[in-house]
Amino acid sequence: MNIFLQKYYALTAPLRPLPNFLVIGAQKSGTTSLFHYICQHPQVFTNNYKEIHFFDLHYQLGANWYRSHFPLGGRLLPRRYIGEATPYYFCHPHAPRRIAALLPTVKLIVILRNPVERAISHYFHEKKKGREQLSLLEALQQEEERCTGEWQKMLNEPSYLSQTHQSFSYKQRGIYIEQLQRYWDFFSKQQMLILESSRLFTEPLAVLKQVFDFLEIDSSIVIQDVAVKNANPSKNAAPPEVYAYLEQFFAPHNEMLQNALGQDFGW
């Protein structure tokens, strides 16, 4: 973006509305596809920014910086909804409080994937980006050594940014019950829609109707482009010992999640 556009967006930021829905995660669970589908609805403004990272990485820049990423108010009519999608919001320890402070009535959409598959996909994403040098099983087994100290720093210092945690929190990001509980401390359960990612790809229109009902927009609209976005075709098959390790790790967390939601995801 050139300097003149940056200045224009900054100067007009007070005239720009804040979002009224967020897709907050989980990472590698279909957030890119879901956000793309939602933005095709005629009552939703098509936002060019998927991951603004305001409530996790750029909070110190202030609300006007965040507003500058959204359209001028007049351009919204007659559309009712504008949003963004940043999957790290779901995992970041301070994001729920920050979102609640600025957007107390926002609608939050969470999409969850089998955490075993999510962790494996996350690993290959980091491998592809050149940030991960360990083997898959080594990376999973060394996560606590790599990330526990970083997580504690994040808790103690809200402005602390950790690339290590962003990249290597393979297992922690799949402990969904802990992340949901942090949001439930600030938001009513009625403000949150929790989806299961496999249904998005096997029954996309049914899931989108559920999303549109949640957003209180016309749910009779049929979205035309429901192709999968941001797929990772380079992902290799993980060895059986990795599945065994992850299934054992996630079993108690999945049980707590399914008890809390009253829903069996079959993981």
Distance between CA atoms of residues 136 and 185, nearest Å: 34
Of 5-14, 68-77, 107-116, 186-195, the poorest mean pLDDT is in 68-77
- pTM here is 0.94
Distance between CA atoms of residues 246 and 145, nearest Å: 17
pLDDT digits (tens, 9 = 90+) for 113-145: 999 999 999 999 999 999 999 999 999 999 999
Distance between CA atoms of residues 47 and 41, nearest Å: 12
Evaluated on CA atoms 262, 177, 20, 37, the torsion sign reads negative
Distance between CA atoms of residues 247 and 254, nearest Å: 10
Map out the domains of the chain as residue ranges: 3-261
Backbone torsions φ then ψ of 127, nearest 5 degrees: -65, -45
Q: Is the pLDDT at 196 greater than 70, yes or no? A: yes
One-letter amino acid at 179 equals Q
Contact 75, 45 (CB under 8 A): yes
pLDDT digits (tens, 9 = 90+) for 5-60: 778 888 898 889 999 999 999 999 999 999 999 999 999 987 666 799 999 999 99
- Name the pLDDT band for 71 (thresholds 50, 70, 90): confident
The CB density around residue 145, as the number of other CB atoms within 10 Å, is 9
CATH superfamily for domain 3-261: P-loop containing nucleotide triphosphate hydrolases (3.40.50.300)
